[in-house]
């Protein structure tokens, strides 16, 4: 589910969903605003997968939460 396999395409894996989320994080925004932008993407599918992808990105250090806004982490 996290990584693509021969049965799960990249766009339906959590890495694929995470890449969609990172592309939409051009500027800091709330979780609700980000969800409204990406909820119709086929790979995102559900709010649960959206949150799992956000958790994964946070664990990887790709995003951070600052003053209630999610933003890409600058390294």
19 vs 1: which has the higher pLDDT = 19
Domain map (residue ranges) of the chain: 10-72
Residue of 29, 21, 22 whose CA lies nearest to 50: 21
28-46 residue pLDDT tens = 999 999 999 999 988 898 9
Spatial distance between the Cα atoms of 20 and 39, rounded to a whole number of angstroms: 11
Spatial distance between the Cα atoms of 44 and 19, rounded to a whole number of angstroms: 11
Percent of all residues in the chain with a pLDDT value above 70, rounded to a whole number: 97
Spatial distance between the Cα atoms of 42 and 30, rounded to a whole number of angstroms: 21
Class of 10-72 in CATH: mainly alpha
Q: What is the pTM of this model?
A: 0.88
Spatial distance between the Cα atoms of 58 and 73, rounded to a whole number of angstroms: 9
pLDDT the model gives residue 1: 63
- Whether 17 and 43 have beta carbons less than 8 Å apart is answered as yes
Average pLDDT over residues 5-13: 76
User: Given pLDDT bands bounded at 50, 70 and 90, which one contains residue 57?
Assistant: very high
């Amino acid at each position: 589910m996290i990584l693509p396999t021969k049965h799960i395409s990249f766009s339906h894996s959590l890495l694929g969903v995470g890449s969609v989320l990172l592309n939409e994080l051009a500027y800091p925004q709330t979780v609700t605003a980000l969800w409204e932008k990406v909820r119709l993407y086929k790979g995102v599918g559900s709010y649960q997968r959206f949150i799992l992808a956000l958790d994964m990105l946070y664990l990887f250090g790709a995003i951070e939460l600052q003053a209630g806004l999610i933003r890409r982490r600058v390294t």
